[in-house]
């Protein structure tokens, strides 16, 4: 095996489909092709994850040899001539897709990932309408994992993205692989539900799954039901942070094209908060509140808590997080730090408390990530919907959000919300950590007495994977 480490300061010259290209040593064939505007089809590949080269859809020819190599799993080398498209490669890739489809339930119409499924898009690009192979999907039923995730392993294409995110990116290790060959599967220890293993319901696995095998548990049906019942008062909280995600999702729903998230539209004005409020009201919500106020109230409680603990000599830092998965994280991995967990309510509980005066029965928090769907309480009147779910509701209702006149937020009628903005920031150190891998480092520094922060806020997931 070569021990040569690629040097990014050395340039490599090659051709891709006859086009000369120069890239730094260590560049994969896939990226070199992109540089000359050639997109090689992929399935297991994910730009933010390690090389896996499992599905072999990205195979290419080199130097006129019969052997095929993967574009995602191989770096370029000096003088190589790569061919990314010809009749042979087309049929090899098409056959691989057909073989995957042969083991896949072909119920795309009812699949949550329909139109955004990477396998479905590939099948359409290769003009596959029927497979040459008999369709024999595994007979595995979907499992609803808490109120956060659904796992439908009959749709798994065994790309391993989820395992890598759970094991390496988040360092949680709730899911893994087992067995080999055709019995190879993605599972939890002893096939237990995620609630019974160390899963923290961050939603990372769902964010990278290319198909409908792991996805956020859609609770729009329950919310539509509450909205349709005139006897149920409904209140929503939302903040402007969701807007870039919503815009991306709305454009996706309209165009059917996969777009990167978190970006403002290049055509036209970005949506305003007032239009967001107007759209949510049109869906039928009685009241729409600014989630930023709830955040202020929660933060004010935590600031108080830090000050009280400082005075009494109780354990510091206070550990908090907007998602309840943070509590599971501490309980599962750092039980000795349980006492450091904040006693303040989380965002959803706080919202329910703030609007109590309005008599609302059903509360909905519109959130930017799946992680905030997780709640240990399993309350049937409190929901968290993601930007993707809100986009679908807006489209289903036929609302043209960008044409709506702006509407203001409703105002909380309680003392806590009025006082929250006046709360001093405090004279102590706050540390915000992103994702659970980084959180582990900070938790270990607390255990060793090396953390000088008085407040550690864990943001459950890493933005680059948000969907």
Token pair 């590939």: residue = 122
By a kind-dependent CB cut-off of 5 to 8 A, residue 70 interacts, out of ligand SF4, ligand FES, none, with: ligand FES
By a kind-dependent CB cut-off of 5 to 8 A, residue 462 interacts, out of ligand FES, ligand SF4, none, with: none
Q: Which of 165, 236, 326, 355 binds ligand SF4 (CB under 6 A)?
A: 165
Residue 460: CB minimum distance to ligand SF4, A? 9
Nearest to 243 by CA among 263, 257, 229, 222: 263
Residue 105: CB minimum distance to ligand SF4, A? 13
CA distance 206 to 214: 5
Task: Give me the residues paired with residue 61 across strands.
Answer: 68, 83
By a kind-dependent CB cut-off of 5 to 8 A, residue 174 interacts, out of ligand SF4, ligand FES, none, with: ligand SF4
By a kind-dependent CB cut-off of 5 to 8 A, residue 300 interacts, out of ligand FES, ligand SF4, none, with: none
Under rule CB under 6 A, residue 73 binds ligand SF4:
no
Of 113 and 217, the one with the shorter C-beta distance to ligand FES is 113
Of 158 and 345, the one with the shorter C-beta distance to ligand SF4 is 158
Contacts of 445 (CB under 8 A, 6+ apart): 451
Tokens of 356: 């109590």
Of 175 and 364, the one with the shorter C-beta distance to ligand SF4 is 175
Q: Which of 76, 96, 174, 293 binds ligand SF4 (CB under 6 A)?
A: 174
Residue 7: CB minimum distance to ligand FES, A? 24
By a kind-dependent CB cut-off of 5 to 8 A, residue 446 interacts, out of ligand SF4, ligand FES, none, with: none
Under rule CB under 6 A, residue 175 binds ligand SF4:
yes
Of the chain, the end-to-end C-alpha distance in Å amounts to 39
By a kind-dependent CB cut-off of 5 to 8 A, residue 55 interacts, out of ligand FES, ligand SF4, none, with: ligand FES
Nearest to 31 by CA among 60, 65, 64: 60
Residue range at the interface with ligand SF4 (CB under 6 A); choices 19-27, 155-163, 235-243, 331-339: 155-163
Helix axes 435-447, 325-333, angle to 10 degrees: 50
Of 156 and 279, the one with the shorter C-beta distance to ligand SF4 is 156
Collapsing DSSP states into helix, strand and coil, what is residue 334? coil
Beta strands (DSSP E) in 217-334 are 234-238, 287-290, 318-320
Tokens of 117: 């499924």
- Ranges within 179-238 binding ligand SF4 (CB under 6 A): 186, 194, 199-205, 208-211, 213-214
Upper half-sphere CA count for residue 406 (Cβ side, 13 Å): 6
Radius of gyration of the chain (CA): 25
Nearest to 329 by CA among 433, 242, 215, 431: 433
Residues that bind ligand SF4 (CB under 6 A): 156-162, 165-166, 170, 172, 174-175, 186, 194, 199-205, 208-211, 213-214
């Amino acid at each position: 095996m070569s021990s040569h480490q690629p040097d990014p300061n050395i340039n490599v010259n090659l051709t891709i489909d006859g086009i000369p290209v120069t890239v730094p040593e260590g560049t994969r064939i896939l990226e070199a092709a992109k540089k000359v505007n050639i997109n090689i089809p992929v399935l297991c590949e994910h730009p933010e994850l390690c090389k896996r080269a499992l599905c072999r859809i990205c195979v290419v020819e080199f130097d006129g040899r019969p052997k095929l190599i993967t574009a995602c799993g191989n770096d370029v080398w000096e003088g190589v001539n790569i061919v990314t498209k010809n009749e042979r490669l087309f049929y090899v890739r098409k056959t691989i897709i057909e073989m995957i489809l042969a083991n896949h339930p072909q119920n795309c119409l009812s699949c949550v990932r329909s139109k955004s499924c990477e396998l479905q898009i590939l099948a359409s690009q290769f003009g596959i309408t029927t497979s040459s192979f008999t369709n024999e999907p595994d007979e595995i039923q979907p499992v609803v994992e808490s109120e956060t995730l659904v796992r439908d392993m009959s749709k798994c294409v065994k790309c391993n993205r989820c395992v890598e995110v759970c094991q390496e990116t988040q360092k949680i290790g709730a899911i893994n692989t087992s067995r080999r060959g055709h019995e190879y599967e993605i599972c939890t220890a002893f096939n237990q539900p995620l609630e019974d293993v160390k899963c923290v319901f961050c939603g990372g696995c769902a964010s990278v799954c290319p198909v409908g095998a792991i996805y956020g548990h859609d609770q729009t049906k329950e919310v539509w039901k509450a909205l349709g019942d005139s006897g149920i008062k409904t209140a929503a909280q939302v903040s402007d942070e969701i807007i870039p995600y919503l815009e991306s999702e709305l454009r996706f729903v309209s165009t059917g094209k996969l777009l990167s998230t978190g970006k403002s539209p290049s055509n036209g004005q970005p949506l305003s908060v007032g239009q967001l409020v107007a759209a949510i009201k049109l869906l039928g919500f009685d009241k729409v509140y600014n989630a930023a106020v709830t955040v202020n109230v929660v933060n004010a409680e935590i600031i108080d808590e830090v000050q009280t603990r400082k005075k009494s000599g109780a354990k510091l830092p206070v550990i908090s997080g907007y998602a309840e998965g943070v509590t599971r994280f501490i309980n599962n991995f750092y039980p000795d730090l349980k006492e450091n967990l904040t006693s303040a309510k989380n965002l959803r509980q706080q919202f329910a408390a703030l609007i109590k005066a309005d008599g609302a029965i059903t509360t909905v928090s519109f959130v930017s990530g799946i992680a905030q769907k997780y709640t240990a309480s399993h309350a049937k009147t409190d929901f968290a919907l993601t930007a993707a779910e809100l986009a679908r509701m807006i489209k289903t209702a036929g609302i043209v959000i960008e044409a709506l006149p702006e509407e203001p937020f409703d105002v909380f009628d309680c003392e806590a919300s009025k006082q929250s903005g006046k709360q001093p920031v405090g004279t102590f150190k706050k540390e915000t950590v992103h994702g659970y891998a980084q959180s582990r480092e900070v938790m270990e520094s607390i255990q060793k007495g090396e953390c000088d922060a008085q407040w550690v806020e864990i943001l459950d997931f890493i933005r680059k994977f948000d969907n």
